[in-house]
Amino acid sequence: MKKSELRSLKAKKAWVQDLIKVFTQYNSDPQCELDYDSPEELLVATILSAQCTDKRVNIVTKKLFKDCKIPEELATWSLEKIEAYIFSTGFYKNKAKSLKFMSQDLVDHHKSKVPQKLAELIQLRGVGRKTANVVLGECFNAPEGVVVDTHVGRLAKRLGLTASENPVKIEQDLMKVIPKEYWVRFAHWLILHGRGPCKSRKTHCEKCYLSDVCPSSKLNF
């Protein structure tokens, strides 16, 4: 690594420490907004959350989790029955396949329990790295990476923590500068901030507690 890259990395690490202090001051314990009672239920909810609001997912899973034992019964349901339950979350046909096949894999290969290793989780059909890290971080406090959704990717770039648009590269950039003990919380902070004042189409820098230090703040120009 070049000296200039080392200096840049050192500066970003220091910048992240400043961000952590500010985020902690305003929200010391950010939480996942998906409702669940087990790692298996969170896995289902996270799959459903793709291109869908947590609020809508919670409405859908409230009935689904009441009517269906996860994953044993879900593994036996027809795709049509699953689709009827999850229709309002969007992309319901692909999500139904992911839920059914993931449930079958848990039942057949993991005694109906979510494995606690990333390598095993991403072998489940319908489960990618982001979904796996959500469950590992929330349920086992053992993330093997930083969750990068659309909010995290957008805000990481606005805050100068990455220059990439690629989720894999963004995650790599964030893992280099965020202390591992903050991987889960930092992602939550960015997600919540992206849903709040730092929206995609219109930012509200005048309401943002990061406006004084954010390199993208309109108030700094």
**Residue 199 belongs to domain spanning:** 3-30+146-220
Distance of alpha carbon 121 from alpha carbon 127, whole angstroms: 7
Q: Are residues 136 and 44 in the same domain?
A: yes
Same domain assignment for residues 131 and 152: no
Write the CA distances from 123 to 6, 134, 211, integer angstroms: 35, 15, 41
Instruction: Clarify whether residues 207 and 155 are in a common domain.
Output: yes
The answer on 96 and 82 residing in a single domain is yes
Together in a domain, 151 and 186: yes
Q: What angle do CA 21, 172, 152 make, to 5 degrees?
A: 55
Domain boundary among 112, 140, 168: 140
Distance set, CA 48 to CA 9, 14, 116, 158, 162 (Å): 35, 36, 20, 27, 27
* 152 plus 206 within the same structural domain: yes
pLDDT digits (tens, 9 = 90+) for 122-144: 999 999 999 999 999 999 999 99
Q: Are 125 and 63 within one domain?
A: yes
Same domain, 135 and 175: no
Q: Using CA atoms, how far apart are residues 60 and 146, in angstroms rounded to an integer?
A: 26
* Per-residue confidence (pLDDT) for residue 3, from 0 to 100: 44
Whether residues 127 and 183 share a domain: the answer is: no
Task: For residue 166, give the 3-state DSSP assignment.
Answer: coil
pLDDT at 92: 97
Please indicate, yes or no, whether residues 43 and 134 belong to a single structural domain of this protein. yes
Single residue among 113, 140, 167 that ends a domain in this structure? 140
Average pLDDT across the chain, whole number:
92
71 shares a domain with 8: no
Looking at the predicted structure, is the pLDDT value of residue 207 above 90? no
Task: Report pLDDT for 221.
Answer: 42
Nearest to 149 by CA among 117, 186, 118, 187: 187
User: Any idea what the Cα angle at residue 170 is, between residues 18 and 20, rounded to 5°?
Assistant: 15
CATH number at residue 24: 1.10.1670.10
Domain count for the chain: 2
CATH of the domain at 111: 1.10.340.30
The structure tokens listed for 100 are 């059914």
Q: What is the pLDDT of residues 111-122, one digit of tens each?
A: 999 999 999 999
What number of other Cβ atoms are within 10 A of residue 88's Cβ?
A: 12
Query: With contact defined as beta carbons under 8 Å apart, do 39 and 124 qualify?
Result: no
Report if pTM > 0.75: yes
User: What size, in residues, is the chain?
Assistant: 221
Please, are residues 140 and 113 in contact by the beta-carbon 8 Å criterion? no
Q: Which of 140, 162, 195 is the last residue of a domain?
A: 140
Which residues on adjacent β-strands are paired with residue 198?
203
Question: 176 and 128 in one domain?
Answer: no
d(CA 149, CA 41): 20
Taking alpha carbons only, the member of 122, 189, 179 closest to residue 149 is: 189
List pLDDT tens digits, range 72-104: 999 999 999 999 999 999 999 999 999 999 999
The residues that are catalytic are 130, 149
DSSP summary character for residue 196: T
